[in-house]
Amino acid sequence: MSDQLEPKASKDVDVNNVEFTPVVNNGPSSLPAQLKGFWITFRTMFKKTLAVEYPEVKAPTQERFHGRHQLNRHPDGLEKCIGCELCAWACPADAIYVEGADNTEENRMSPGERYGKVYQINYLRCVFCGLCIEACPTRALTMTNEYELADNSRSSLIFEKDDLLAPLRAGMLMPPHPMYPEADHHTYYRGEVPEAHPSQEVNK
Amino acid sequence: MTTTQSQTTEVVDMITVVIDGFEVSVPKGTLVIRAAEKLGIQIPRFCDHPLLDPVGACRQCLVDIEINGRAFPKPQASCTIPVEPGMIVKTQLTSDVAEKAQRGVMELLLVNHPLDCPVCDKGGECPLQNQAMSNGQAESRFEGKKRTFEKPINLSSQVLLDRERCVLCARCTRFSEQIASDPFITLNERGALQQVGIYEEQPFESYFSGNTVQICPVGALTGASYRFRARPFDLVSTPSACEHCASGCDMRTDVRRGKTLRRLGGDDPTINEEWNCDKGRWAFKYITAIDRLAQPMVRNSDGELVVASWPEAIAAAAAGLSGAKAAVLVGGRATYEDAYGYSKFARVALGTNDIDFRARVTSDEERDFLAAHIVGTSTTYKDIDKADHVLLVGFEPEEESPIVFLRLNKQVRKRKLKVTSIGTKLSIGVEKLGATFVKVAPGAESAAIASQSLTAQSLILVGERASESAGALSAVAALAAQSGAKIAWIPRRAGERGALEAGAIGNLLPGGRPVTDAAARVDLASAWSVASVPTNVGRSTKEIVSAINSGELSALVVGGVDPLDLDNSTETLSALKKAFVVSLEIAPSAVTERADVVLPVAAVTEKSGSFLNWTGSARAFDAAVADSLNRSDVRILSMIADELGKTISLGTVSAAAREIASLGPWDGARAAFTATPAGSAATLAADEALITSWRRLLDLGTLQKGEDNLAGTARQTVAVISPKRASAIGVTTGDQVSISNSLGSVVLPVLVEDIHDDAVWAPRNSRGSELLAKLGSAHGVVVKVVKA
């Protein structure tokens, strides 16, 4: 292949015999043409401005904007993440690190057998492509619209599981706690668990 | 998955068949699926495994077959049909019928297979997942409810079973039955409820159970220790060697972020044939144990061990060793290169031959036997394949070298190999081999050996415990000389053969050069560029210990040695207290507690090196944890030698390896061997017996620390006595007996079994039965056995 890329010998290039294209300069535009241009400027002065005084004013993003991730919870507070690492596998930037672990009766973080013990997203690497969201089999990982992801240290931009977990909403209990009575992981995935049951309160 | 089956040298009939329009010639008896592999045509399969008998259980490998123009009416399982002349095979690539049949089988297999790949450990390296992608269909037509089971259930503390994932390929049950001869698992129930199960009263306590996890083509069998720990793409795999025994298995070490998470059996057809034992597979937690030594320590003037910098510690070690009369205890776990480092360090830096790698019960007879008959010889696993008769002396293959057991078992199964075991107690392993068991009293082995008749095609496998019976090794040498049989010595620890070849023993210099041979000494001295090497035969482990206690020696360099492995542990501990001790260790031990300088060294996954297995062949390996800061023993010894001003120039493992290679083996005369007479039989009172024991594969070994799931599959700790003794002391199986001598006692549940009437057997180092620590001896010594 390289023999087709042989450099030209210096005698092949004649600097004194280069083709020139003359620059066409017809002088200033005519007055109507100039008025037409200025009219656009003038007209825009009376339009509503789109720019906002960020950071004092924060405009909402589009609904499906790819912002910071969130690790969701089931309605009773158990984590949806099962530590399967499919997000990490899908990630083209290798920004996600997950370690799975066993749920035990005493320490249940998610329905089923497995939960994500370590969950990290490195926002210095993340390109917000959303492939991780597509890969997630339990809808545990979604993206919020939050876009303010700047900081002044590397370590603070590696988000841990605590930083990514969704807040506890009404009816949720902080895991670890047992599963909803009579429920198994299938019930959870079908969304049949409405909210935490009093019997799940073990931490109090 | 390439075939590793028959490697016979005789002429074999070749049969030519046509597969997908291509002609291929294969030996007679080859299966169609294997012939297709030869052409590079992959027929999907689950149950087929080249090392297991064909069963045709999964039906995934269906192909169209026609013989001499007559076609089979239906597609046939290519994993069960051997090739025949005139056969025309059409696989899924050329036959729509085969393709449709495979697609259908796959769909049926997936009907009850759960879609839990995200939580399944096999996800990402799963033959079912892969073949469903390559040969299945993306859409399922099944709309019913899948069969579910409670999950997972423990087949043993280490092997977990998720029954709904099972595709009933019977690989695990076939392995257990055919390879390990541990038929503890079987297929229960029938139809849709068929499942792998254990007998209710006997869990899956096989030493080889981990292989079933490795060959399971789905995620039905998983190891408790690896469950949910990682995905295949997280792991960095390094080919490595097993550090647990002298079998010499090829291994794969999987590391995630500097932490060893998994080890798998590698495929070396000449040695372990894809298999390994549970100890090799699962006993690696000691490497990541939190109590690993991280920094050098030096004992200060107040007698406390305090953390020091490397230069300080090296200087302290050199200061203590310089001018002192020092000896070296290597331990049996050093790599070949490290053992060479110790050997050269003793000769050059310390100017002594007082070095011994044998941190166990030993004898001078053994030392001479090794010099005369073992060092520099080579055996192969093929010698087992070819032998007409294998004699086991002081050796329990299943407990002490499991892959040797698998090879013996294979030959017993394949061609009814005759095996004879000389021992005091019939063991489970020997029973499984269907061996002729020659029952002797402890100490009376030599007479039994002498009465054996072997031929020149026979093989004598001598274990390290043969040294515990006076005269046994002499009898082996005499038997071999008289019959022409081959002798192979199988130590228990991985590093012993390498240490022997490296001259880490008092009567041999590196390469098997006898210390007593002036030419050998000159040869070595010129290779090392030193004026001379010490001329006296060095002391053995036992003699080194007593020389320290008597003040003849004052300093000691100790590698990985556990004083409780010796039969004089009390004296050893006091010697360690008395001498100036430099300890090279990976974790705190009885030695580091008493040492004056403690130098942390790399564990086996953190360093490169090689182990010589019992056959004398080396398996080199690279560091699996590439960024470890720990260094191999040989580098640290080299630094101490530099500080002493007597450089050994072995700064790296590769430098040591190069030097070993350039040194080469000794081609001169071997050391002579003088036979040792057998000991006299002891007279026993009615409640007295001779203790006999061996170490079980899974016990309280240092390298098995921290792996409770593995420890859970260890065999039950029992004391074994003969029916005659049982009736004499009035116990039956299950009662407690006390075994005692003047030093201490152990109390164990009793098992009445086939054992010599004069003997009592107990495991040497199992929980509750730490014989060397409690009784100070483990073989051939009189103990009192009474009902407890």
Cβ distance of A82 and B118 shorter than 8 Å: yes
DSSP state of B719: E
Model confidence at A6: pLDDT above 80: no
Chain length of chain B: 788
Q: How far is CA B19 from CA B3, B34, B35, B101, B484, in A?
A: 18, 11, 8, 17, 49
DSSP count for chain A of H helices, then E strands: 5, 5
For residues B393 and A199, give the distance between their C-alpha atoms in angstroms, rounded to a whole number: 64
Instruction: Please tell me the distance from the alpha carbon of residue B350 to that of residue B33, in angstroms, as a whole number.
Output: 62
The residue whose two tokens read 């403690």 is B598
Residue contact B229–A100, C-beta within 8 A: yes
Mind spelling out the 3-state secondary structure of B221-243?
EEECCCCCCCCHHHCEEEEEECC
Distance from first CA to last CA of chain B, Å, rounded? 54
* Minimal Cβ distance to B233: which of A84, A89, A99: A89
Inter-chain CB proximity B231 and A102 less than 8 Å? no
| Contacts with A84 from chain B: Cβ below 8 Å | 118-119, 123
The one-letter amino acid code at B627 reads D
- Using one digit for the tens of pLDDT, what is the confidence trace for B329-345? 999 999 999 999 999 99
For B755, the 3-state DSSP assignment is: strand
CA dihedral of B639, B640, B644, B647, whole degrees rounded to 10: -50
Q: Is A122 on the interface with B (CB under 8 A)?
A: no
How far CA B776 is from CA of B422, B562, B565, B720, in Å, comes to 24, 14, 10, 19
CA nearest neighbour of B651 among B665, B639, B667 = B639
pLDDT band at A203 (very low <50, low <70, confident <90, very high): low
- Helix H, strand E, coil C: the string for B385-443 is HHCCEEEEECCCHHHHCHHHHHHHHHHHHHHCCEEEEEECECCHHHHHCCCEEEECCCC
Question: Looking at the complex, does the CB of residue B784 fall below 8 Å from at least one CB of chain A?
Answer: no
pLDDT confidence of residue B3: 44
Report H helices in B333-401.
336-344, 364-369, 381-386, 397-400
> Best mutation site among B117, B119, B122, B125 for testing chain A: the one with the most A CBs within 10 Å?
B119
Does the distance separating the beta carbons of A137 and B231 come in below 8 Å? Answer: no
* B693 and B781 Cβ atoms separated by less than 8 Å: no
Q: Measuring CA to CA, how many Å separate A12 from each of A8, A9, A16, A107?
A: 6, 6, 12, 78
* Contact (CB, 8 A) for B561 and B356: no
Interchain CB contact of B123 with A (< 8 Å): yes
Two structure tokens written together for B54: 């064909």
Percent of chain B with pLDDT over 70: 99
**pLDDT tens readout for residues B393-417:** 999 999 999 999 999 999 999 999 9
Spatial distance between the Cα atoms of B496 and B610, rounded to a whole number of angstroms? 12
Q: Cβ distance B756 to B424 under 8 Å?
A: yes
Maximum Cα interatomic distance, chain A, rounded to a whole number of Å: 92
The pTM score is 0.91
d(Cα B85, Cα B14) in Å, to the nearest integer? 9
Q: Which residues of A touch B229 (CB under 8 A)?
A: 99-100
Q: Angle, nearest 10°, between helix axes B633-644 and B310-321?
A: 60
CB atoms A99 and B230 under 8 Å: yes
Q: Is the dihedral of CA B693, B694, B699, B702 positive or negative?
A: positive
| Pick from B151, B227, B233: CB nearest A102 | B227
Q: Tell whether B679 lies on the interface with A, counting CB pairs under 8 A.
A: no
Hey, are the CB atoms on B119 and A114 less than 8 Å from each other?
Answer: yes
pLDDT at residue A72 tops 90: yes
Res B145 pLDDT > 80: yes
CA atoms of B45 and B34, how far apart (whole Å): 11
Q: What is the pLDDT of residues B723-770, one digit of tens each?
A: 999 999 999 999 999 999 999 999 999 999 989 999 999 999 999 999
Farthest CA pair distance, chain B: 93
To the nearest whole angstrom, how far is the Cα of B286 from the nearest Cα of chain A? 20
Which chain A residues have a beta carbon less than 8 Å from that of B118?
82, 84, 86, 137-138
pLDDT of residue A7: 66
Per-residue pLDDT of B169-207, as tens digits, reads 999 999 999 999 999 999 988 888 889 988 877 778 899
Residue of B nearest to A96 (CA): B234
Q: Are B94 and B18 in contact (CB under 8 A)?
A: no
Task: Give me the pLDDT at residue B600, please.
Answer: 96
Phi-psi region of B189 (alpha: psi -120 to 50; beta: other; left: phi over 0): left
Mean pLDDT for B569-575 is 92
| pLDDT for B562 beyond 50 | yes
pLDDT at B659: 96
What residues form DSSP beta bridges with B620?
A: B610
Nearest residue of chain A to residue B118 (CA atoms): A84
**pLDDT for A10 beyond 90:** no
Whether residue B771 is predicted with pLDDT greater than 80 in this model: the reply is yes
Calculate mean pLDDT across residues B494-519. Answer: 95
**B355-356 and B195-198 strand pairing:** unpaired
CA distance to partner chain A, nearest, from residue B713 (Å): 21
The pLDDT value recorded for residue A23 is 85
Q: Which two tokens stand for residue B44?
A: 């999907």
Q: Where does the pLDDT of residue B2 fall: very low under 50, low under 70, confident under 90, or very high at 90 and above?
A: very low
**Torsion angle in degrees (nearest 10) through CA of B67, B73, B78, B82:** -40
Q: Answer for the pair B780, B692: CB distance below 8 angstroms, yes or no.
A: yes
Give the A:B interface size as CB pairs under 8 Å: 34
- Nearest-by-Cβ selection for A83 from B124, B228, B233: B228
* Residue B614, pLDDT score: 96
Q: How far is Cα B78 from Cα B89, in angstroms, rounded to an integer?
A: 9
B615-633 residue pLDDT tens:
999 999 999 998 888 999 9
pLDDT at B20 over 60: yes
Task: Decide if B145 touches A, using CB distance below 8 A.
Answer: no
Nearest to A100 among B124, B151, B228 (CB): B228
Residues contacting residue B323 through CB under 8 Å, at least 6 positions apart: none
Give the closest-approach CA distance of B227 to chain A in angstroms.
Answer: 8
Among candidates B391, B450, B384, which has minimal Cα distance to B247? B384
pLDDT at res. A8: 66
Rg (CA), chain A: 29
B1 pLDDT band (50/70/90 cuts)?
A: very low
What average pLDDT is seen over chain B?
93
Read off the pLDDT band of B452 (50, 70, 90).
very high
Per-residue tokens: B91: 């696989």
Predicted local confidence at residue B193, as pLDDT = 85
CA-CA distance, B663 to B511, in Å (whole number)? Answer: 7
B147 touching A, CB under 8 A?
no
Tell me what pLDDT residue B160 has: 94
Task: Give the best residue of B165, B228, B257 to mutate against chain A (max A CB count within 10 A).
Answer: B228
Cα–Cα distance, A20 to A26 (Å, whole number): 18
Taking the Cβ of residue B227 and every Cβ of chain A, the question of whether any pair is shorter than 8 Å is answered with: yes
With H, G, I as helix, E, B as strand and everything else as coil, classify residue B384. helix
Confidence of residue B9 (pLDDT cuts 50, 70, 90): low
Query: What is the token pair recorded at A75?
Result: 């309605």
| Chain mean position to CA B137 | 43
DSSP string for B75-125 = -EETTT-B--TTEEEE-TTT-HHHHHHHHHHHHHHHHSS-S-GGG-TTTTS
Minimal Cα distance from B117: which residue of A? A84
pLDDT at B543 over 90: yes
DSSP B489-526: EE-SSTTHHHHHHTT-BTTEEGGGEETT-HHHHHHHHH
Of the candidates A88, A101, A137, which has its C-beta nearest B228's C-beta?
A: A101
For residue A113, list chain B residues with Cβ-Cβ distance below 8 A: 119, 151-152, 228
Contacts with B152 from chain A: Cβ below 8 Å: 113
Instruction: Say if residue B643's pLDDT is above 90.
Output: yes
Beta bridge partners of A120: A97
List all residues of chain A from 82 to 101 with a beta carbon under 8 Å from chain B: 82-86, 88-89, 99-101
pLDDT at B681: 81
Contacts of A114 in chain B (CB under 8 A): 119, 228
> ∠ CA B734-B738-B743 to the nearest 5 degrees?
155
pLDDT band at residue B138 under the 50/70/90 scheme: confident
Does any CB of chain A come closer than 8 Å to the CB of residue B230? yes
Question: Phi-psi bin for B457: left (phi > 0), alpha (psi -120 to 50), beta?
Answer: alpha
Mean pLDDT of all residues in chain A? 90
Q: How many CA atoms lie within 13 A of B491 on its CB side?
A: 28
The string of pLDDT tens digits covering residues B260-308 is 999 999 999 999 999 999 999 999 999 888 889 999 999 999 999 999 9
Contact B231 A82 (CB under 8 A): no
